[in-house]
Amino acid sequence: MSDANYFPYLHGFSESEQQRLREQAFYEEHRIYQDIDFSRIKNLLEVGCGVGAQSEILLRRFSKLHLTGIDLNDRQLASAKEYLATLPYAKDRYEIKKMDAQNLEFESNSFEGAFLCWVLEHIPHPQKVLNEVRRVLRPGSKVFITEVLNSTFFLDPYSPNVWKYWMAFNDYQLDTHGDPFIGAKLGNLLQAGGFQDIKLSLKNLHFDNRFPDERKETIDFWTDLLMSAKEQLISEKVITQELADAAYQELKTIASDPNAVFYYTYVQAQATVI
Ligand X SMILES: C[S@@+](CC[C@H](N)C(=O)[O-])C[C@H]1O[C@@H](n2cnc3c(N)ncnc32)[C@H](O)[C@@H]1O
Residue 266 CB coordination number (10 Å): 21
| Count of residues in contact with ligand X, rule CB under 6 A | 22
Closest separation in Å from C-beta 192 to ligand X:
19
Among residues 36, 65, 72, 104, which is the contact residue for ligand X, using CB under 6 A? 72
Task: Using the minimum distance from each CB to ligand X, give the nearer residue, 19 or 164.
Answer: 19
21 binds ligand X (CB under 6 A): yes
Number of Cα atoms under 13 Å in the Cβ half of residue 269: 26
Closest separation in Å from C-beta 266 to ligand X:
12
Q: Taking Cα atoms as reference points, which of 241, 146, 157, 176 lies closest to residue 9? A: 176
> Is the C-alpha dihedral spanning 167, 170, 173, 177 positive or negative?
negative
53 binds ligand X (CB under 6 A): yes
The interface with ligand X within residues 114-173 (CB under 6 A) comprises 117-119, 122-123
- Position of minimal CB gap to ligand X: 50
> Is the C-alpha dihedral spanning 103, 108, 110, 113 positive or negative?
positive
Among residues 41, 50, 159, 218, which is the contact residue for ligand X, using CB under 6 A? 50
d(CA 190, CA 164): 32
Binding segment for ligand X (CB under 6 A), chosen from 48-56, 130-138, 167-175, 212-220, is 48-56
Question: DSSP string covering 23-69, please?
Answer: HHHHHHHHHHTTT---TT-SEEEEES-TTSHHHHHHHHH-TT-EEEE
Closest separation in Å from C-beta 100 to ligand X:
5
d(CA 14, CA 51): 11
Q: What is the 3-state secondary structure (H, E, C) of 86-130?
A: CCHHHCCCEEEEECCCCCCCCCCCCEEEEEEECCHHHCCCHHHHH
- The DSSP symbol for 177 reads T
102 binds ligand X (CB under 6 A): yes
Task: Using the minimum distance from each CB to ligand X, give the nearer residue, 122 or 215.
Answer: 122
Binding segment for ligand X (CB under 6 A), chosen from 59-67, 99-107, 201-209, 249-257, is 99-107
Binding segment for ligand X (CB under 6 A), chosen from 70-78, 81-89, 226-234, 259-267, is 70-78
Among residues 56, 100, 147, 179, which is the contact residue for ligand X, using CB under 6 A? 100
260 binds ligand X (CB under 6 A): no
Task: Using the minimum distance from each CB to ligand X, give the nearer residue, 145 or 260.
Answer: 145
178 binds ligand X (CB under 6 A): no
Closest separation in Å from C-beta 102 to ligand X:
5
d(CA 177, CA 193): 20
Q: What is the dihedral of CA 216, 247, 5, 113, to 10 degrees?
A: 40
Residue 43 CB coordination number (10 Å): 15
Binding segment for ligand X (CB under 6 A), chosen from 72-80, 81-89, 104-112, 130-138, is 72-80
Residue 92 CB coordination number (10 Å): 6
180 binds ligand X (CB under 6 A): no
Question: Which residues of this protein are in contact with ligand X, per CB under 6 A?
Answer: 4, 7, 21, 25, 48-50, 53-54, 70-73, 76, 100-102, 117-119, 122-123
